[in-house]
Structure 1
Amino acid sequence: MTEPDIVPDHERAAIRAQLQAYLNAHAIGVPRLQQLMEQTLDAAERPYVNLRSLQRFMADSVRIEDSKVIRYRKFLKIVQSD
């Protein structure tokens, strides 16, 4: 099954909540989260993970591109399976 190209608002909120729980569980901030994402995701996906966008996504201050949110979701799937 392929991942949808459009991430609905309710799923964005769920991804944000899961990332926040990950931050809290590991006592890290968004800059460290961004580094972990870069280390975890494939090289082709790394350009989609930048600190500024991740900070904005976590703060829910602007709508981040779906392509970036898809990578955040992929990161969560990887770390949750460990």
Structure 2
Amino acid sequence: MAVVLDLFNREVVGWSIKPRMTADLVTEALTMAWFRRRPAHGALHHSDRGSRSRRHSSLGFVSPAQFMQGWLKAQQTKESVA
């Protein structure tokens, strides 16, 4: 199971359930969230860094959707402070 949460109001905005964990599982959950919410440019995507969320297919989906990877933004913030 893959779930996408709106952390502002803790609402589930996308999900996918399959018998096996595949990269498509994550992509389908992100697609559902995208079509349900149409997030503004610069919306933040933060994954739990699981193996499925690091695959190129899910990262390729995220970039055109104008999401920013949360862990990349956090890394940039750490570097600018140091």
Normalising by the residue count of structure 1, what TM-score does the alignment of the two structures yield? 0.29
Higher helix share goes to which structure?
Answer: 1
| Larger of the two Rg values belongs to structure | 2
- RCO higher in 1 or 2 (8 Å CA, sep ≥ 6)? 1
Higher strand share goes to which structure?
Answer: 2
